[in-house]
Amino acid sequence: MPKIADIQETPNPNAVKFILKEAVSHGTSHSFDSAEKAETDALAKSLFEVGEVVSIFYMDKMITVEKTDGADWDEILPLLAVPIRAAESVGGATNGTNDSAASTVGGAIAAAASDN
């Protein structure tokens, strides 16, 4: 089960990058721009089911989620954290990143990134 090590801002204010301690894929990128295209991918499907998600990209120990313009990060970050934590890892060691590390994309980031 991947643990969230950090959540980082991206140049796009509607997207954040989740940095994980465990890989969810090895060297293969996965990109989805609709829930329909994500139907066969358990992780992407569960992230789209949160609602307000426009696109998902993930590879190795990183997941980028883009939200709709009207969505509030404070509301959806904790919801996105649930399927990410529940996702199957593909093995490997953790990277040793501190659980308390988080960017400042809103008050919800620290809560979503803490895996105590």
Say which amino acid occupies 67.
K
- The CA-atom distances, in angstroms, between 99 and each of 8, 12, 22, 52, 85 are 13, 24, 13, 26, 13
The CATH number of domain 4-113, selected from 1.10.760.10, 3.30.1370.70, 3.40.50.1860, 3.10.20.740: 3.30.1370.70
Say which amino acid occupies 94.
T
Nearest CA among 48, 29, 53 for reference residue 38? 48
The pLDDT mean for the chain works out to 83
Domains of the chain by residue range: 4-113
Tell me the pLDDT tens digit for each residue of 36-47. Answer: 999 999 999 999
Q: What is the distance between the alpha carbons of residues 57 and 115, in angstroms, rounded to a whole number?
A: 22
For the entire predicted model, the pTM comes to 0.78
Band the pLDDT of 112: cuts 50, 70, 90: low
- The CA-atom distances, in angstroms, between 98 and each of 27, 76, 79, 101 are 24, 23, 21, 6
Matching residue, tokens 């979503």: 112
- The CA-atom distances, in angstroms, between 55 and each of 49, 58, 96, 109 are 12, 10, 28, 19
C-alpha 113: how far from chain center: 10
Tell me the pLDDT tens digit for each residue of 10-41. Answer: 999 999 999 999 999 988 999 999 999 999 99
